[in-house]
């Protein structure tokens, strides 16, 4: 990314409703393509979306559109909530979705997966593990001792050496929770996207 472009969004980056309607179709197509490269399915019920500036801008623009947010104050609230999910250099940020479609599934899985947010890691080619940190701003509302939430906001923090190890080879996304032991290797497209976040 051009180092002159700040990563975090400001009020100036969020188009007003009429201006957004004019760009929406094109921007939406871009973000759908971007999300295809940044989405990773892990096992049968967990999906990760690795966020960046464009995915978060899309989230805020769509929310403003649906909820008719028009004041700077309303938009700033959304910026304050979502800007932490835009990764700084050396970081990767992800939204983890536990995708359950029925009440029965929720009753079964959400208690079973309590604490799962502390069991997410990226495993680098040299065997180094980079464990996810729960975003502090969202932790209180989402984390319970006896049940998990369906959505979690996670951050992976890399040292300079770990960024180079990430760049060097295959990377695995893993959950090592006793009720959900799953792992998947990142595709080359996802690997390239996340490397651009890290650098």
Six-digit token pair at 169? 């080879």
DSSP reduced 3-state for 84: helix
Sign of CA dihedral 195, 192, 12, 141: negative
Beta bridge partners of 183: 174
pLDDT of residue 1: 42
Indicate whether 134 pLDDT > 50.
Answer: yes
The domain locations on the chain are 11-198
Among 130, 119, 139, smallest CA distance to 46 is for 119
CA distance 8 to 79: 9
pTM of the model: 0.93
For residues 176-193, average pLDDT: 98
In tens, the pLDDT along 138-161 reads 666 665 678 888 999 999 999 999
Indicate whether 136 pLDDT > 90.
Answer: no
Among 147, 152, 150, smallest CA distance to 115 is for 147
């Amino acid at each position: 990314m051009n180092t002159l472009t700040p990563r975090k969004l400001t009020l100036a980056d969020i188009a007003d409703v009429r201006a957004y309607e004019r760009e929406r179709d094109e921007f939406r197509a871009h973000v759908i393509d971007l999300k295809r490269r940044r989405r990773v399915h892990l096992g049968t019920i967990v999906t990760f979306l690795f966020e960046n500036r464009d995915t978060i801008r899309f989230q805020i623009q769509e929310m403003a559109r649906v909820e008719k947010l028009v004041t700077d104050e309303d938009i700033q609230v959304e910026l304050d909530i979502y800007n932490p999910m835009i990764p700084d250099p050396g970081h990767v940020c992800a939204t983890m979705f536990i995708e359950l479609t029925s009440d029965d599934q929720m009753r079964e899985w959400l208690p079973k997966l309590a604490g799962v947010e502390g069991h997410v890691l990226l495993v680098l080619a040299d065997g180094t593990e980079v464990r996810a940190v729960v975003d502090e701003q969202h932790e209180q509302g989402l984390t319970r001792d006896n049940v998990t939430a369906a959505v979690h906001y996670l951050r992976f923090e890399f040292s300079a050496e770990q960024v180079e190890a990430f760049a060097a080879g295959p990377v695995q996304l893993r959950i090592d929770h006793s009720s959900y032991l799953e792992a998947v290797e990142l595709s080359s497209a996802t690997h390239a996207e996340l490397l651009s976040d890290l650098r």
